[in-house]
Structure 1
Amino acid sequence: MPFTVFLEMTISACITVWSPGPNNILLLSTASRYGVKKNLHLLLGIWTGSLTLMCLSGIFCSTLARVVPGIQPVMKYIGAVYILFLAWTTLRRRPPSDADTGKDPSYLMGLILQLLNVKIIVYGLTMFSSFILPYETRIPALFLFAVYLMVLGAVGNLIWAVAGNILRHAYDSHYKLMNLVMALLLVWCALRIVGLL
Structure 2
Amino acid sequence: MTLSAILTVWSPGPNNILLLSSASKYGIRGNLRFMTGIWSGSLTLMCLSGLFCSTLGAIIPGIQPVMKYLGAAYILYLAWQTCLRLPPSNQVQEKKPTWKMGFFLQMINVKIIIYGLTMFSAYILPYEARVPMLFAFAVYLMILGALGNLIWAIAGNVLKCCYTRHYKLMNTVMALLLVWCSLRIVGVL
Query: Matched residues in 2 for 1:141 and 1:61: separation?
Result: 14
- The aligned runs of 1:1-197 (5 Å cut-off) are 9-63=1-55, 91=91, 93=93, 104-164=96-156
Give the residue type in structure 1 aligned to 2:140. Answer: Y
Contact 1:32–1:165 under 8 Å retained in 2? yes
Query: Matched residues in 1 for 2:92 and 2:149: separation?
Result: 23
TM-score by length of 1: 0.61
List alignment gaps of at least 5 residues for structure 1.
Answer: 1-8, 70-86, 95-102, 171-177, 179-197
Change over 3 Å in CA distance of 1:93–1:23 after alignment to 2: closer
List alignment gaps of at least 5 residues for structure 2.
Answer: 61-66, 71-87, 165-189
Q: What are the superposed Cα offsets for residues 110-144 of structure 1, whole Å, 9 maximum, x if unpaired?
A: 00111100000000000000000011111000000
Give 1:105 deviation, angstroms: 1.8
Say which SS state the counterpart of residue 51 (structure 2) adopts. Answer: helix
Give 1:91 deviation, angstroms: 3.8
Query: Matched residues in 1 for 2:159 and 2:143: separation?
Result: 24
Contact 2:20–2:156 under 8 Å retained in 1? yes
Give 1:93 deviation, angstroms: 4.2
Moved over 6 A (4+): none
Give 1:92 deviation, angstroms: 6.9
Contact 1:35–1:165 under 8 Å retained in 2? no
Identity of aligned residues (%): 65
Contact 1:34–1:104 under 8 Å retained in 2? yes
CA RMSD of aligned residues (A): 3.0
**Number of residue-to-residue matches in the alignment:** 136
Give the residue type in structure 2 aligned to 1:26. Answer: L
Query: Matched residues in 2 for 1:18 and 1:92: separation?
Result: 20
Q: What are the superposed Cα offsets for residues 28-87 of structure 1, whole Å, 9 maximum, x if unpaired?
A: 010011001010000000000000000000111145688x99xxxxxxxxxxxxxxxxx9
